[in-house]
Amino acid sequence: MEARMDLAKTAPKPYQAVLAAYRTLAEGPLDPVVQELVKIRASQLNGCAFCLDLHVHEARRRGESEQRLALVAAWREAPVFSEAERAALAYTEEATRLSERGVSEEVWQAVTACFDQEEAGALVVLVALINALNRLGAPLRRRPAVR
């Protein structure tokens, strides 16, 4: 299956604006491992193969273990994630699968207990932007390179 559209060519300014905002988060206060776990989980939930492949590869490059990468999808049952990682993954799931109640108070309290305001803000923006990128990649059939 070929990609349906190349946004870098068909909508370059808005697409580059989204990517620029997304890239600024790499320099932010949120731990890089947490960032990759969040991107992986959102991409799993959204079925975005391109982003999932990209972020699993990046997590490996950062030294993430195969065990933890394999267990992201079942993080609640896996003892290999820290309290902060669990809070970030729970927030990612609730913000990705928004219900009429939004993100629960319980999940928000876990986020604010594990992250300072600047880190929590970065998490909120990261989840929103990876969801936006997933919602561009998956419908447009963006595919990972065969390695």
pLDDT digits (tens, 9 = 90+) for 22-69: 999 988 999 999 999 999 999 999 999 999 999 999 999 999 999 999
- In order of start, what are the domains of the chain with their CATH numbers? 10-137 (1.20.1290.10)
pTM given for the model: 0.93
Looking at residue 142, its pLDDT comes to 86
In tens, the pLDDT along 74-83 reads 999 999 999 9
Residue 93 to residue 86: CA distance in whole angstroms: 11
Residue 119 to residue 101: CA distance in whole angstroms: 23
Could you give the dihedral angle defined by the CA atoms of residues 53, 122, 100 and 76, in that order, rounded to the nearest 10 degrees? 60
